Amino acid sequence: MHTQFKHRVGLVIWLYTPKYVNKLKQYGLLHYVSRKLKYAVLYVDDDQVENIQEKLKKLHFVRSIEISHYNELTYEYDGLLDALNKKAKEVNENKESIELFSQLEK
């Protein structure tokens, strides 16, 4: 059994009023709603983004729509471990030099 996952894109939908936010559920997965800041996060399939954006713009309670940049983030941390080890060595060397200096003062 092979499961096929569809690539999803997040849409940030700015609203005039959050009163009609339940109507967004028919367009995709309603992930989050901020009633105070009047926006909602809706996840839709990648191949339907343009079509759904056009439909959402026609709704009377939608102010504007932004595409989330979450998919553009890189998750490669190749050099991160080396940089952390280097920083840890510098901290240890500074700590040792401070200990030697305090011993010399005594």
pLDDT tens for 37-80 read 999 999 999 999 999 999 999 999 999 999 998 877 777 767 77
How is residue 75 written in tokens?
């998750």
How much of the chain is helix, strand and coil, in % rounded to 5?
A: 45, 25, 25
Residue 3 lies inside a defined structural domain of this protein: no
Q: What is the average per-residue pLDDT within 25-38?
A: 96
Tell me, yes or no, whether 26 lies in a domain: yes
Question: What's the whole-number mean pLDDT along residues 75-99?
Answer: 76
The mean pLDDT of the chain is 86
Q: What is the mean pLDDT of residues 20-24?
A: 95
In a domain, 102, yes or no: yes
- Establish if 2 belongs to a structural domain: no
Query: Is residue 85 assigned to a domain?
Result: yes
Q: Which range of residues forms the domain containing residue 22?
A: 8-72
Please indicate, yes or no, whether residues 51 and 66 belong to a single structural domain of this protein. yes
Asked if 15 and 66 sit in the same domain, the reply is: yes
Looking at per-residue pLDDT, the higher value among 78 and 91 belongs to 91
| CATH number for the domain that contains residue 58 | 3.30.70.80
Note the pLDDT of residue 104. Answer: 61
Task: Round to whole Å and give the CA distance between 103 and 97.
Answer: 10
1 within a domain of the structure (yes/no) = no
